[in-house]
Amino acid sequence: MRQAPSQKAPPKAPPAFHVLVKPTGAVCNLDCKYCFFLTKERLYPGSPFRMADDVLETYIRQLIEAHRTPEVTISWQGGEPTLMGLDFFRRAIEIQDKHKKPGMTVRNTMQTNGVLLNDEWGAFLREHNFLIGLSVDGPRELHDAYRVDKGGHGTFERVMRGLRVLRKHQVDVNILTTVNAANADHPLDVYRFFRDEVGTEFIQFIPVVERDNETGFQEGTKVTGRSVTAEQWGRFLIAVFDEWVRRDVGRVYVQMIDVALGNWAGAPPTLCVFSPTCGNALALEHNGDLYACDHYVEPNYLLGNIKERPMVDLVASPSQRRFGRDKLDRLPGYCRACAVRFACHGGCPKNRFIATPDGEPGLNYLCAGYKAFFTHVDRPMRIMTWLLRKGRAPAEVMRILAAEETKEAKGPAVFAGARRNAPCPCGSGRKFKQCHGRGSPP
């Protein structure tokens, strides 16, 4: 068999990029009602939907060759990747060890529904330091609204069993939660469930915006009833933030909030959704087909097959660079003039299908929610940025906000005569010079 081509990075290739690899394609053991990917099976009629060994090795080898960084992340997704079985992933680790460069670290992540996890899986994932993204939509009644099996039955108990396996084997876990019509009006029930009952430290919230059409592609302007509305999305994020910023800074990490803080602090973008451009987060199907993005596994966005053309050439191709640049070039004037553009950058292109108030196309369906959220968090974000620049912990924002609320309740006169070494009148237990007398945040 002819070996797939090796590669030398073309001039426009990024030094690193992200690929969601789907070894089972769209095949899954669940039938989640909002899943946009299940319909992708239609793209490969008659396929066994299992990644062959030659495709697996070609992918890993080319990904490692293409990276000009000391660390490479291999991200397994689906469908449901655990359907491939443990032997497939044992082979993947062997191939990684075979091809990784001297001094290079290869990390593995996996997004899973958790249903098939057992002790053998747990031991393997721990041994090889996998980071697991576990899909859970909240407490039982909210999770089971849409996350069902092929028989239409809820999966909550089976997912919690999988989580217990991961905890038993001390596997690192992030919770991935879709925000949809069923749970969008219950933000604190969802957040407190994860914080207090599940005990998670890392949460990602993903808005469900499901186009209502026959193709399953990003077409049309109508959404299904399972989709979150812009207003619900904004209220959800604001409620979670208000709880988090008063209680959980430094101990619970919410991706949306972390990314926003980075944007306020002027750090390089870490999430394509809120970056000025995109194009460096692609999707690889089970047969080696590489697509522009996980949300655009569609014929018009097929870049090619890595068995026929090196992956890095496809990533650096004019069509893919244009795909990424379009995120900025097609940004409506309404967005360009927006006060929170620096935090949002128009959001994900897949959701830019409504018109601006003056009729220009390309506004994000979730714009009103994002705008409400980013406006609401502005002052706490500025405080945390101020703390970071002074070499202090962002978690101090909790004390600052509590003290301000106390001051507002008690009135400013109570602080007027406070001595530097005396207990702060706010009741924090700290000396005044270490509390309200420590300098003023923005």
pLDDT in tens, 2-19: 455 555 678 789 999 999
pLDDT surpasses 90 at 147: yes
Mean pLDDT for the chain overall: 94
Length of the chain: 442
Which residues have a catalytic role annotated? 294
* Amino acid (one-letter) located at 437: G
Q: Quick one: tokens of 22?
A: 């789907």
Q: Calculate mean pLDDT across residues 298-311.
A: 98
CB 397 within 8 A of CB 381: no
CB 132 within 8 A of CB 122: no
Question: 326-332 — which CB contacts under 8 Å span 24+ positions?
Answer: 327/275, 327/276, 327/277, 327/278, 327/279, 328/276, 328/277, 330/362, 331/362, 332/356, 332/360, 332/361, 332/362, 332/363
What is the pLDDT at residue 11?
76
Q: Calculate mean pLDDT across residues 193-214.
A: 97
Residue whose structure tokens are 């690192």: 172
Residue whose structure tokens are 């530097």: 420
User: Measuring CA to CA, which residue among 164, 183, 189, 179 is closest to residue 210?
Assistant: 179
β-strands 289-291, 281-284 pairing: antiparallel
pLDDT surpasses 70 at 268: yes
Q: Flag the least confident range among 112-116, 211-215, 242-246.
A: 211-215
User: Measuring CA to CA, which residue among 377, 378, 375, 353 is closest to residue 364?
Assistant: 353
